[in-house]
Amino acid sequence: MKWFDIGVNLTSSRFGKDLESVLERARASQVTQMLITGTSESQSLAAVTLAEQYQLYSTAGVHPHDASSVSEDYLHQLRDLASHPRVRAIGECGLDFNRNYSAKPDQLRVFEQQLELAADLELPVFLHERDAFEEQLSLLKKHRHKLVGGVAHCFTGDREQMEAYLQLDLYIGITGWLCDSKRGQALRDAVSVLPLERLLLETDAPFLTPKTLRPKASRNEPAFLPHIAEALSELIQVPVEHVAEAATDNARQLFNIDGDKDFGQS
């Protein structure tokens, strides 16, 4: 079985000292391709640089936390980054009203601008949402007819929210949140209505370490992606091989990745 981690923060300083070892462990776990998340102008550039170095893929975008601090020409910068063949989505973009690190008007403006950019470039969107579901859904409905597609990255919502995304023909990104029987209970209930053809898998490493992982780890890694898939397999009563095949095929389709080349292969 081969796996595709569609959300990994390899630019994090927590991977700064041992990235090569992290990638070796991922390869040993058959995680053969990844999408590195870009969250700001500088981090998107760093993500593209890593993707080029290791034959991975990346996103380019501005996280809602950074919406109030974008440069005047940030859209021009994102457009330039998105022209790189390793960039396969616009994001991480969306709305986050949980802590409001950026003012709501700035978040709404920057998110909508990125939706328009994604539509113009014919790239899918890599979506973030926290405590802003109705506002985010409203903007997605407004722009969906122009978008080639997208994924609700790190989905932690309930069944009703998942169905709303599915009605927009979006993919759902499942993380180790699924492995938390308390905080993740709404998600564990929701996956019963998730069709395999809309499933994507991601670790969001180094964050969201699966709670059921043994031995415990102080940091999440792409190598733990199969553990998430096994937890999902048990919940939905589908063989893990089918989960692997569907999630990997879906990732290649959404992000327009041809062939079966593993990372690190030139």
Cα gap 38→44, rounded to integer Å: 4
Structure tokens at 20: 């090569």
CA trace torsion 198, 199, 204, 209 (10° rounding)? 150
What contacts 235, CB < 8 A, 6 or more positions away? 178, 188, 191, 192
Neighbours of 160 (CB within 10 A): 11
Q: Which residues are annotated as a binding site for a divalent metal cation?
A: 92, 128, 153, 204
Asked whether the CA dihedral 30, 180, 151, 197 is positive or negative, the reply is positive
Binding-site residue numbers are: 92, 128, 153, 204
Cα–Cα distance list, 111 to 62, 70, 131, 140 (Å): 8, 12, 15, 10
